[in-house]
A = this chain, B = another copy of it.
Amino acid sequence: MPPFDIGKLLPGNTEVAPCGACPVRSLAVCSALHTDDISQLADIMVAQRYDAQHTFINEGDFADQAYNITSGTVKMYKLLADGRRQIMGFLYPGDFIGLAVDQSYPYSVETVVPTAVCRFPRKQLDELMAAEPRLQKRMLAQASHELAAAQDQMLLLGRKTAREKIASFIMMLSRRAMERGQQGNPVHLPMGRADIADFLGLTTETVSRTFTQLKTSGTIRLREGSKVAIIDRPQLEEIADGV
């Protein structure tokens, strides 16, 4: 039998959540809206929960829905015909999916851990955007931010060594956690080695070997619960920057 099926939902799905009490409101695009606009958003929104390893967007499908992550982690990826996979990025609470999209989704999206999202019909979201320049401005800012991240990743994929890639990856997760007010040192890696490999353009074996190498050189330490402790942060930063 197949490892996952047609959108099995966790208990409590499709509830209409109170945006006013939303824990990620300050992070999300919703921050661009006033309280009365938020209620408009809430009207067209559906809250939903997915299991881990559940694909809720398939590359090529008609893109009629947009999503906002409220808890959990997801990965966006593209596939080649023979199954080679490139993960474009990992998304966290507050991140938005389906903004920079044409008619059909240019990538698939799959949960890494159990994840909650807010789902919007794109058509109505477009209308709200047309009426609310603040929202549109916020979307442009988000697109710009994503573009900058994509360009950093292009430098990493095209020109960095395995060692530099892994160091950059740990630094990125650490910085991201701190930006979100979480602790930046024992960094939590919710994704497996295969996901890390497909994000960095490596194989799982090379990822594993490189972690070991950084551990041996005293730069990091691997902790239980898929956590990485940064022992020598300045050195990790230097490795990441290719110095």
Contact = CB atoms under 8 A, between A and B. Distances in A.
A162 to B, nearest CB: 12
A157 interface: yes
Contacts of A158: 86, 157, 198, 200-201
Q: For the complex formed by this chain, how many copies does it contain in all?
A: 2
Interface stretch (A15-23, A49-57, A97-105, A223-231): A97-105
Nearest to A160: B80
Nearest to A197: B158
Nearest to A161: B84
B99 A144 contact: yes
Interface residues of A, number: 42
A131 to B, nearest CB: 10
A60 interface: no
Contacts of A200: 158
Interface of A: 78, 80-82, 84-86, 88, 99-102, 106-107, 130, 133, 136-137, 139-140, 143-148, 150-155, 157-160, 198, 200-201, 241-243
